[in-house]
Structure 1
Amino acid sequence: MLQWVRSIIYIIQVTIAMPIIGLVFAPWAMFSKAGAYKACKTYAAYAMWSARWLIGLRSEVRGEVPQGEVLVAAKHQSFLDIIMIFHALPRAKFIMKREIHWTPVIGQYTKRMEMIAVDRGKRGKAIAKMIEDVNAGRMEGGQLVIYSQGTRVAPGAHIPYKVGTAVLYGQLGQPCVPVATNAGYFWPRRGLYRRPGVAVVEFLTPIEAGLTKEAFMAELETRVERASEDLLLEAGWRRPDV
């Protein structure tokens, strides 16, 4: 019961903190992309810090965090893994659903940071527009983050990996850094309860450039799924059939 109360308090205060931090940084963020990044990194740091002391949930980043221009293909289980990846990467640019652009506070900052918005209901056009927007922003460098399954996936659930990641991989001609996580075990997609423990985001060994689409997709899915399950088992999760 106490953890339930702490979870609700945490959700309330971290939700309130978002517009407050957004307003504090707004004068800087309106005129500077660096200001927008600073605001969002400040919020991410606060969300992780307050989770640690309020609900007993620590955040841990493993592996070598990429610093240069690279494609990052991540497992997505929770809003927490977004926060952790954004905070860890020097200059993350996420590919995300278009609806987020119209979300209060978050939407304004994603526009200012020029995140790549995709209309998920128009697959062919969405991929073409994604490539166009990515190429338009390549002069800035940074880490392009895509969630290869296109949505949050609960621990143990299986959703196919989408071809958009392979298209980007082929177009960019860059290595791809897979990312595994167990964040969904502690911070689920739905519900108010937040579990104490150690949420991990792990940057895995890069996949070299130049693989065929089929070979790349098979390698990406195998690495991410295997590493994510290992992290879940480490956290105490058990397979549904066990």
Structure 2
Amino acid sequence: MLVFRSLVFNLAFYLNMALWLVVGLPCFVFPRRNLQNLMIAWAGSSMWLMKVIVGTRVEARGLENLQQGGLLVASKHQSLWETFALLPYFDDAAFVLKRELSWIPLFGWYILKSKMIPVDRNGTISAIKSLTAKSKEAVEEGRQLIIFPEGTRRAPGAEPSYKSGTTHLYKRLGKPCLPVALNSGLFWPRRKFLRYPGTIVIEFLPIIPAGLKADEFEQQLQTGIETSSNRLWKEGLEERERLL
């Protein structure tokens, strides 16, 4: 049954995405915010499909820590799930993502139209300057800049591997940072076909104020995200094993 439900969901997820890509084409002649609303609707429909087909619910904790306006958001990255599921919690999110995604026909057009921030992960000086400039523009427009500090998906419980990009932006932008912990990798594992029933928990941690020293910020960020994500991992693992 798990394999069957996973198959049905994966088909439904990508068909649903294709449908929204086509339905959203008229948004290209309207202001960017119209497209943002469409993306939030797509994210909601995707989570609904996962709940109905697989039996995976979502629980959000720490909603009192959410802050709109210009903000840096640093999220744990375990799955494809958070690349869309974070959208409904912010009024104007801008993801930092690998530039190769912007090359995908049609899908990449949406990335460019919505002014997401593609980045060259080779880390050249010009790439860093471009990332910084576009990120400043986003937060000055009052957007919430979402970045994954480890740069790529990491399995739940894996040794953390934080890159310097988040700290670089924190210092350059002069904005507070909202850390985000989660356990999505238990239910939507990276590079795997199966999807598991249970409860994906996303936890918005207390805001880290602007103006801290780099090493102090790094310590608060990594300690907060890793401690909370490991707690959620153990909590979710018990539930997943109980349901299987």
- Range of TM-score over shorter length: over 0.9
User: 1:106: how far off?
Assistant: 2.6
Is 1:71–1:169's contact at 8 Å kept on the other side of the alignment?
yes
Give the drift of 1:162: 0.9
Residue 200 to residue 104, structure 1, CA distance change in 2 (3 Å): farther
Query: CA 1:232–1:201 in 2, change beyond 3 Å: closer, same or farther?
Result: same
- How far residue 183 of structure 1 moved from its aligned partner, in angstroms, is 0.3
- The residue number in structure 2 matching 1:50 is 49
Alignment pair present for 1:188 and 2:189: yes
Equivalent residues in 2 for 1:52-201, closer than 5 Å: 52-64=51-63, 65-201=66-202
In 1, the alpha carbon distance for the partners of 2:106 and 2:13 equals 14
* C-alpha distance in 2 between matches for 1:30 and 1:191: 37
Q: Which residue of 2 aligns with 1:224?
A: 225
- Match of 1:52, as an amino acid? K
| Structure 2 unaligned residues grouped into runs of 5+ | 240-244
Bigger Cα displacement from structure 2, 31-40 vs 147-156:
31-40
Percent identity reads: 38
Residue 222 and residue 57 in structure 1: after superposition, are their counterparts in 2 closer, same or farther (change >3 A)?
A: same
- Indicate the larger mover: 134-143 or 47-56: 134-143
Structure 1 match to 2:16: 17
**How far apart, CA to CA, are the structure 1 residues paired with 2:222 and 2:213?**
14
Query: How far does residue 157 in structure 1 lie from its aligned partner after superposition?
Result: 1.2
Query: Does the residue aligned with 2:24 lie in a helix, a strand or coil?
Result: helix
Partners of 2:206 and 2:17 in 1: how far apart?
Answer: 33
Paired residue for 1:202? 203
* 2: CA distance, partners of 1:27 / 1:166: 38
CA RMSD of aligned residues (A): 1.5
Gaps of 5+ in 1: none
Mapped to 2, the partners of 1:191 and 1:160 lie a distance apart of 21
> Structure 1 residue 123: deviation in Å?
4.2
TM-score by length of structure 2 reads: 0.92
Query: Could you say which residue in structure 1 is the equivalent of 2:31?
Result: 32
SS at match of 1:137: helix
| Amino acid aligned to 1:156 | G
> Contact 1:73–1:176 (CA<8 Å) still a contact in 2?
yes
Deviations 1:76-124 (A, max 9, x none): 0011112221121111101111011012333111111111111001343
Contact 1:56 1:196 in 2 (8 A): yes
How far apart are 1:191 and its partner, in Å?
A: 1.3
Question: Once the two structures are superposed, what CA deviation does each residue of 1:63-83 show, in whole Å capped at 9, x if it has no partner?
Answer: 122222211011000111122
Moved more, 163-172 or 137-146: 137-146
